[in-house]
Amino acid sequence: MTQCELMTRIGEVQFVCVELNLYIDTHPDDSAAVGDLNSYSALLRELIAEYESEYGPLMGFGHSPMEAGSWVCSAWPWERA
């Protein structure tokens, strides 16, 4: 996948996780929803790892592997694609 395609896929999967997370906040005993969230979370972690190995860290403060300059110099989200 290109960088743009991979980021789009991460956005889609992360959106599912956001939705399920908010739903579970008010339905903590819904085991089907929790199972879905865990499945999508695993997929999200895989996609993020694939992205980061190719294009640099997505998260700061020790949550992503970094190389010199990779956090500071990669594009910020408000910059045009």
Query: Is position 42 an interface residue for another protein (rule: CB under 8 A)?
Result: no
Tell me how crowded residue 51 is: count the other CB atoms within 10 A of its CB: 19
CA distance 46 to 25: 24
Name every residue whose Cβ is closer than 8 Å to that of residue 9 and which is 6 or more positions away in sequence: 1, 47
Binding of another protein by 45 (CB under 8 A): no
Q: Which is nearer to another protein, 28 or 35 (CB)?
A: 28
Question: At closest approach, how far in Å is the CB of 65 from another protein?
Answer: 14
Max Cα–Cα distance, the chain, nearest Å:
44
Minimum gap (Å) between residue 66 Cβ and another protein: 12
Interface residue list for another protein (CB under 8 A): 7-8, 10-11, 14-15, 18-19, 21-23, 25-28, 57-61, 63, 71, 74, 76-78, 80-81
